[in-house]
Structure 1
Amino acid sequence: ALLILALAVSFLVYRLGSLIGKAGRILDETQASLKVTTDNVQPTLVKLTDTVSLTNDQLARVDSITANVGSMATNANALTSLFAATVGQPLVKAAAFSYGVRSALAKPAGGRLPQQDES
């Protein structure tokens, strides 16, 4: 009976040892896989950092362009107001004067417009 018990314990120890060996190989494979993944991710992160840096540079340029466009719009608005103030009022006065002259020249010498027949 002790021999059977010793064989059973030996078999269990053997099976347990093989399970521990398989677990060790799994851990070794996991470690190798993790190393490969780390080696592949590091260059990707470096490239990503470069891309983000270049993107930030481009955004700074776009911000500068946007500020310049805003300044141009403000200047165009001021120029339009200046043009309306300096040219608009004299044009209105000239138009009113020419209308008055045309109206005065269109009247007959008596100062009255001929009346139309109401037939």
Structure 2
Amino acid sequence: MQPGDIAGLIAAGAFLMLVLVLAVPILRLRRTIDAATRAIEEVTARTGPILGNVNSTMENVNVALEQTQVSLDGVNAQLARVDTITSHVQTVSANVANLATVVASAAANPLVKVAAFGYGVRKAAANRRHADDEREVRSALKQRRRGAHSA
């Protein structure tokens, strides 16, 4: 026997081992495929009547949709009217807001002036009182100094 023949026998043995190792999962996979095939056949058998019911239900839905379309046309007309009313109400609201702003500024301007005048009068009166008190204190100090110089 030559070395090439021995290598060929070793390769054939390795290939045989590989085939044997892969044969077990392939056989198990066959069982899984058979179970999946049975499940698909059962689903197919049960789906037929369900599809028949779906067809009749869809026919009923189509009839109901046709009836609904007729009533939707009336609703659309009413919505168009509501949109017109809403736009008019929005315009009126904007006008009222503008009028309120004008009235508020017209009334607020004199009130601000009166408040500012009152603040100015209070401030002036306080300054005057402060100046009078300061004058009295200064005159009292001058008199004490004069009395101290005289004595």
**Shorter-normalised TM-score: what interval?**
0.5 to 0.7
Q: Matches of residues 4-15 of structure 1 in structure 2 within 5 Å?
A: 8-15=68-75
Give the C-alpha shift of residue 6 in structure 1. 6.0
Q: CA RMSD in A?
A: 3.1
Q: Using CA pairs below 8 Å that are at least 6 residues apart, which structure has the higher relative contact order?
A: 1
Unaligned runs of 5+ in 1: 94-119
Give the equivalent residue in structure 2 for 1:99. none
Give the equivalent residue in structure 2 for 1:27. 87
Give the equivalent residue in structure 2 for 1:71. 131
Q: Matches of residues 91-102 of structure 1 in structure 2 within 5 Å?
A: none
Once structures 1 and 2 are overlaid, which stretch shifts more, 7-16 or 71-80? 7-16
Greater gyration radius: 2
Overall identity of the aligned pairs, in % = 7
| Residues 10-36 of structure 1, C-alpha deviations (whole Å, 9 max, x = no match) | 431321221231132133123223323
TM normalised by structure 2 equals 0.46
Structure having the larger proportion of residues in helix: 2
Which residue of 18, 39, 56 maps to 2:78?
18
| Residues 47-102 of structure 1, C-alpha deviations (whole Å, 9 max, x = no match) | 10221122222322322222222221111111111223334786xx7xxxxxxxxx
Aligned length: 91
TM normalised by structure 1 equals 0.55
Q: Matches of residues 35-54 of structure 1 in structure 2 within 5 Å?
A: 35-54=95-114
Give the equivalent residue in structure 2 for 1:84. 144
